[in-house]
Each structure stands twice: as C-alpha cells, then as structure tokens.
C-alpha cells in the first residue's frame, strides 16, 4: 500500500520534525515539512499530499492564507486540511478534540499526539469516501 502523504506546514522546524517523526513511527505516512509558508504551494504541488496539517500563526503567509491559496488551486483544492494551532484549546466535548470554525477543523497543538493522529485518520477516511 502506498504511503499516505502528509504535508506539515509550520514555521517551527522543531515541532514539524517531531510531529513528522511521530507520524512516521505511527504508521504508513510519508511526511514532508514546510517551514517557510511562502513555499507551501510549490511544495504541495510537487508533493501532492493526501492531507495538510497547517499551523495558523506564521510569519508572512499565515495558515488562513495558505488554505485560501490551496482552495483556489485546482490540484490542491480537494486536499483535506487540519488546522493545528496553539490558538485553540482541545474541545473536551469531542474525542478528536477538534473545533470546526469556518468549515475548517481546528485542533489544539497541545493535544496528545493520539488525538492529533485520530483527527488526521478521521479526515483521511472522510476524504476517501
């Protein structure tokens, strides 16, 4: 089975590296990191991810900008996106801890890796369907 490609866009290389490491250890994930958000579209077109995990607060293009560019790109507009940010808290009322705002799932950066993973898997499943 071909590895599922996850693109992590975050200006924090340490965080993206650790998340990538966890994902790679957790399953069949091919993970690529983008720490400079201005290159995210370019990388994504090349990488063709199955799902994007995008930070919100970033210098230059922020998460919202990146999402809107993805949405206006014919190849990328269907790619599921998870906003992983320190701006929100884990929603205690949902097992995936996400909060849907403006049609986008927001997950707290401080959520357990398992919660983040559950959220990613859920959206991958939804995307497959």
Binding site for another protein (CB under 8 A): 12, 14-15, 18-19, 21-22, 25, 57, 86-87, 89, 108-110, 112-113
CB of 45 to another protein, least distance (A): 27
**Which CB, 4 or 22, lies closer to another protein?**
22
| CB of residue 70 to another protein, shortest distance in Å | 23
Q: Quote the least distance from Cβ 52 to another protein, whole Å.
A: 17
3-state per-residue secondary structure call for 4-49: EEEEEECCCHHHHHHHHHHHHHHCCEEEEEECCHHHHHHHHHHHCC
* Residue closer to another protein, measured from CB, 76 or 119: 119
Q: Judged by CB, which is closer to another protein: 8, or 81?
A: 8
Please enumerate in sequence order all residues whose Cβ is within 8 A of that of 30, keeping only pairs 6 or more positions apart, or say none: 3, 4, 5, 6, 24
If residue 128 lies in a helix (H) or strand (E), which one and from where to where? helix 113-128
Give yes or no for a contact between 49 and 5, defined as CB atoms under 8 angstroms apart: yes
Distance in Å, CB of 121 to another protein, minimum: 16
Q: Indicate the residue among 10 and 50 with the shorter CB distance to another protein.
A: 10
């Amino acid at each position: 089975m071909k590895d599922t490609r996850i693109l992590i866009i975050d200006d924090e290389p340490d965080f993206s590296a650790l998340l990538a490491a966890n994902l790679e250890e957790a399953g069949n994930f091919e993970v690529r990191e983008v720490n400079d958000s201005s290159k995210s579209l370019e990388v994504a077109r090349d990488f063709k991810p199955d799902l994007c995990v995008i930070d919100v607060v970033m210098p230059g293009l922020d998460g919202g900008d990146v999402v809107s560019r993805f949405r206006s790109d014919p190849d990328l507009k269907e790619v599921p996106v998870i906003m992983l940010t320190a701006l929100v808290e884990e929603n205690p009322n949902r097992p995936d801890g996400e909060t849907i705002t403006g049609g986008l799932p927001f997950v707290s950066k401080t959520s357990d890796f398992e919660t983040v993973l559950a959220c990613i898997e859920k959206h991958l499943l939804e995307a497959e369907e």
